């Protein structure tokens, strides 16, 4: 662990960094799924769906930065290499989906991500880390909005 002015114990910070990196892997995986869906939705009738995938991609990119920054603030390392993401991510994926089912695939990925984010909120509250809990609460609210938009398509 790196030295930090954070007043949480090193043991608590280690646990929090692990949680942040787990959710970071999920977010990177979700972002990659959004780009996959965007690139492979070529039907002109689904242009609004492509816009939605691109907007979600940008939103998730923001989560990635915020989660990574929090891991570093806690004295850890933001770990999101391809190998890490492939082994740590818990986001549901349907790589064989066709263009018309990408919205359902992304909605399922958002649902699985949402569940883990809520678990992280509870754990961070139990560890008395209000800042990390607030970060994931904001992300949870955004994911709920994205899920609603994705399922309305």
The per-residue pLDDT for range 44-85, each reduced to its tens digit, is 777 888 889 999 999 999 999 999 999 999 999 998 766 665
pLDDT at 89 over 60: no
Report if residue 85 sits inside a domain: yes
Report if residue 89 sits inside a domain: yes
Angle between helices 47-73 and 10-40 (to 10 degrees): 160
End-to-end CA, the chain: 44
pLDDT at 86 over 80: no
Q: Quick check: 102 and 50 in contact, CB under 8 A?
A: no
Report if residue 2 sits inside a domain: no
Report if residue 91 sits inside a domain: yes
> What pTM value is reported for the model?
0.87
Task: Using pLDDT thresholds of 50, 70 and 90, give the confidence band for residue 106.
Answer: confident
So what's the pLDDT on residue 1?
75
User: How many residues are listed for the chain in this entry?
Assistant: 153
Q: How many CB atoms lie within 10 A of CB 3?
A: 7
Tally of structural domains, the chain: 1
User: Which is nearest to 132 in space by CA: 48, 17, 5?
Assistant: 17
Report if residue 56 sits inside a domain: yes
Written as six digits, the tokens of 153 are 């398509």
Q: By residue range, what is the domain housing residue 65? A: 10-151
Average model confidence (pLDDT) for the chain? Answer: 86
User: Which is nearest to 130 in space by CA: 64, 70, 77?
Assistant: 70
What is the spatial distance between Cα 135 and Cα 145, in angstroms, rounded to a whole number? Answer: 16
CATH number of the domain bearing residue 140: 1.20.1260.10
What is the spatial distance between Cα 143 and Cα 5, in angstroms, rounded to a whole number? Answer: 31
């Amino acid at each position: 662990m790196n030295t930090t002015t954070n007043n949480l114990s090193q043991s608590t910070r280690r646990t929090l960094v692990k949680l942040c990196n787990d959710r970071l892997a999920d977010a990177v995986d979700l972002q990659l799924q959004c780009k996959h869906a965007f690139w492979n939705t070529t039907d002109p009738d689904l242009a609004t769906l492509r816009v939605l995938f691109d907007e979600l991609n940008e939103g998730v990119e923001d989560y990635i930065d915020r989660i990574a920054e929090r891991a570093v603030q806690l004295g850890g390392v933001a770990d999101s290499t391809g190998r890490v993401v492939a082994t740590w991510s818990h986001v549901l994926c349907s790589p064989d989906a066709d263009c018309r089912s990408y919205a359902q695939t992304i909605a399922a990925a958002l649902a699985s991500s949402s569940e883990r984010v809520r678990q992280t909120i509870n754990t961070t509250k139990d560890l008395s880390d209000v800042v990390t809990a607030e970060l994931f609460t904001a992300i949870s609210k955004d994911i709920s909005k994205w899920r609603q938009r994705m399922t309305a398509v």
